[in-house]
Chains A and B, each alone.
Chain A
Amino acid sequence: MSAVTLDSTRFGAVQIAAESVIEFSNGLIGLGGSRYALLTSDAGSPFAWLHSMEDADVALPVTNPWLFFSEFAVDLSDGEAERLGVRDPNATDVWVTVRAASRLEDFSANLRAPILVWNGKGHQVINEAQNAPVRASLFPAAMTEQVVAA
């Protein structure tokens, strides 16, 4: 198992297994890049970082959408599923990008453009499902109050 070094302005030099590098043949939408790696932070954190292997500055926080949105579903058009060659949804990891903010209630996740990962390949896709907004609140105000109260 060979290791490669990921250079990061946020995390410094990080050693990762070569096989954990994910190839994005089309990059992230509007952001490009072709090779990324998932950096999982502390155990128990719902967030990971999708970090560029090519640009030390580029890293996007991501999360498992079902941790926050139990009703979440990915719906691809037939043409898109065929184009990408998605055959086994169960063997596909699904991540959504997270927009951070100074206030917790302004954090959001992009349910409209999830990132699918399988066999070392990644694609950011357009989710055709209903109720899949570009900015879905991660911590709705009511929940934030509960957390603060606890």
Chain B
Amino acid sequence: MLIVTRRAGEKVMLGDDVVVAVMEIVGSTVRIGIDAPRSVPVYREEIWHAVKEENEAAAQADTGAMQDAANRSG
């Protein structure tokens, strides 16, 4: 992992299009601003991770289980 030291107000470029700015540092909290092209979605990591896990779990479903659930909910 690349580690760089930045102060409030300073920025990091990811390629030519993505700007990550350190907006403010208060205690143990850092506010970060991200400027990215529309094609690049930005997620908080823990949410991205939870949704990834949920998508992977959903993709394990077999047709029998879903048929059973459909029958019970009809």
Interface residues of A (CB under 8 A from B): 10-11, 25-26, 28-31, 41-42, 44-47, 49, 57-61, 83, 97-102, 104, 107, 110, 112-113, 124, 126, 134-135, 138-139, 144, 147
Contact = CB atoms under 8 A, between A and B. Distances in A.
Nearest to B37: A83
B74 A44 contact: yes
B55 interface: yes
A42 B70 contact: yes
Contact of A83 (B38, B48, B70): B38
Q: Lowest 4 CB-CB distances: which A-B pairs, in order? A: A30-B52, A100-B61, A45-B70, A60-B58
B interface, over-half SS: helix
Contacts of B51: 29-30, 110, 112-113, 124, 126, 134
Interface in B41-72: 41, 43, 47-63, 65-70, 72
Contacts of B69: 47, 98, 100, 104, 107, 138-139
B39 interface: yes
Contacts of A49: 66
A122 B71 CA distance: 28
Interface of B: 38-39, 41, 43, 47-63, 65-70, 72-74
A71 to B, nearest CB: 18
A72 to B, nearest CB: 16
A100 B65 contact: yes
Q: Which of B38, B56, B58, B74: most chain A Cβ within 10 A?
A: B58
Contact of B61 (A25, A26, A28, A61): A61
18 contacts: A29-B51, A30-B48, A45-B70, A46-B70, A49-B66, A60-B59, A83-B41, A97-B55, A98-B66, A99-B58, A99-B61, A100-B61, A107-B69, A112-B51, A126-B43, A138-B73, A139-B69, A144-B72
Given A42-B70, A107-B69, A139-B72, A31 B50 contact: no
